Amino acid sequence: MNMIALTVNQRAVRALAEPRTHLADFVREKLDLTGTHLGCEHGVCGACTVLLDGVPARSCITYAVACEGAEVTTIEGLDEDEVTTELRAAFTREHALQCGYCTPGMLVSARDLVMRLPQADERLIRVGLSGNLCRCTGYVGIVRAVQSVIEARRARDIAPMRDGGRKILGPVGSGRSVHDGADRAERIRPAASEQTSPEAVGPAPSIPDFIPATVLEQQFSVAHPPEQVFAMFDDIAAVAACLPGASLTAPPKPDHVEGAIRVRIGPIAATFQGAARVERNPADMSGRIVGVGNDRRSRSSTQGEIRYRLVPIEQGTRVELSIGYTLTGMLAQVGRPGLVRDLAARLIAEFAGNLDRRLSGASPGVATAAELNGMALVFGLLRARVAGWVGRFLSKNDGAT
């Protein structure tokens, strides 16, 4: 369960939600805002349409946890809205509803058209409403209702609002706010290529704490004193060079780093661009890294936290790690906890080997290739497991004879 904070109908809300919970279920079940209807639950029918940062969005295919810090407006939040009030009257006048199930989502989309279109163009209205399906009316009354409101407002010299009053253009939710309350447009930068920083990742203080969906505990040892290892961990560029698939996209700062990690699992290739804040405690030689990132190609997002502590041992240093993460999107479908746990163990083993070589003055090994090949790790894992099964089978047969 994740604790998420967002604004719903101009009211601050904090509530627990599972990573798989979509926004429609969140507002209906957690907040009792049942005006948002669920139809196809595939993002096709439009019955679940709400405003997300001023942009119409399908709440049935939007994860609630992905709306952290966003402004959500449901049909209940438009009770006093001037445009929606005019649309409701027009829908009644033009017989634009029968069963009414599609009407909340239809009104949200129609409101966006009224605010944006300069004139009551029937073709543009039909195109704009093509994502909202109605099984009853045949759409004629709906189109007439929207046309009448646009015509009436333009006759009163109410000009269309550029971009419909959106705070920012881009993918739905790309303008979501974060906890520092700064203007969102200042934090969003256009993506020139895959190597740019992700949208919605702000400066280091804006990276929030979170409750990880999965936590892995790992440890490894290196034959070097804790002071040397702790000093090495202060060199972000050197540490990144030891991590397979990792790279920096900007010069690191003592408490802030921007970078990327490339992953390939079968046909899925992902480049997670992100930023992290870095915390260190020299008193007990511990540290913490909290980061966020996303891959635009696979539409996957992640939040991660790494806690480490260095413990002196007779032959050097034991590095104790606690790795927590929350993953959403396409890669979450293949990121099963058991598989991720085994892959993390192998990844950390490669990282430990590279770290040990660098501390010894040698260059890191070939494991720091530009891309972390998850399938290679999977096949290595399978080989190890098959070898273990064969060993147990042979041991059992020897015992039986």
Query: Tens digit of pLDDT for each residue in 8-41?
Result: 999 999 888 899 999 999 999 989 999 999 999 9
Q: Are residues 297 and 361 in the same domain?
A: yes
Residue with more model confidence, 77 or 189: 77
d(CA 399, CA 401): 6
Q: Are residues 210 and 149 in the same domain?
A: no
Q: Are residues 241 and 317 in the same domain?
A: yes
For 88, other C-beta atoms within 10 Å of its C-beta total 19
What's the CA angle centered on 105, arms 100 and 110, to 5 degrees? 105
Given a contact cutoff of 8 angstroms between Cβ atoms, the answer to whether 306 and 321 are in contact is: yes
Q: Could you report the per-residue pLDDT of 169-211, keeping only the tens digit for each?
A: 445 655 544 433 444 434 333 333 333 333 333 333 467 777 7
User: Has residue 168 got a pLDDT over 90?
Assistant: no
In a domain, 112, yes or no: yes
Residue ending a domain, among 165, 192, 222, is 165
What is the span of the domain harbouring residue 376? 200-391
In a domain, 28, yes or no: yes
Q: Are residues 122 and 204 in the same domain?
A: no
Q: Which amino acid is at 371?
A: E
* First and final C-alpha spacing in the chain: 51
Classified as helix, coil or strand, 355 is helix
| DSSP result, 208-272 | -----SEEEEEEEEESS-HHHHHHHHT-HHHHHHHSTTEEESS--BTTEEEEEEEEEETTEEEEE
Q: What is the CATH number of the domain that holds 309?
A: 3.30.530.20
CA 193 from centre of chain: 19
In a domain, 341, yes or no: yes
Q: Are residues 208 and 150 in the same domain?
A: no
Q: Are residues 375 and 228 in the same domain?
A: yes
Q: Are residues 242 and 113 in the same domain?
A: no
Q: Are residues 126 and 222 in the same domain?
A: no
Strands 49-52 and 316-328: unpaired
Q: Could you report the per-residue pLDDT of 339-383, keeping only the tens digit for each?
A: 566 666 777 778 788 888 888 877 655 444 444 454 454 455 455
Given a contact cutoff of 8 angstroms between Cβ atoms, the answer to whether 134 and 181 are in contact is: no
- Which tokens in the block code for residue 244? 């397979």
Q: Are residues 355 and 232 in the same domain?
A: yes
d(CA 207, CA 257): 11
Q: Are residues 144 and 216 in the same domain?
A: no
Domain count, the chain: 2
Q: Are residues 110 and 210 in the same domain?
A: no
In a domain, 191, yes or no: no
d(CA 318, CA 308): 10
Given a contact cutoff of 8 angstroms between Cβ atoms, the answer to whether 266 and 377 are in contact is: no
Classified as helix, coil or strand, 225 is coil
pLDDT mean across residues, the chain: 79
Residue ending a domain, among 165, 180, 210, is 165
Residue with tokens 């390939």: 264
Mean pLDDT, range 151-156, rounded to an integer: 94
Q: Could you report the per-residue pLDDT of 222-272, keeping only the tens digit for each?
A: 899 999 999 888 888 888 888 777 888 888 887 888 888 776 655 566 787
Q: Are residues 158 and 296 in the same domain?
A: no
In a domain, 49, yes or no: yes
User: Has residue 122 got a pLDDT over 60?
Assistant: yes
Q: What is the CATH number of the domain that holds 12?
A: 3.10.20.30
Q: Could you report the per-residue pLDDT of 130-151, keeping only the tens digit for each?
A: 999 999 999 999 999 999 999 9
Residue ending a domain, among 165, 183, 210, is 165
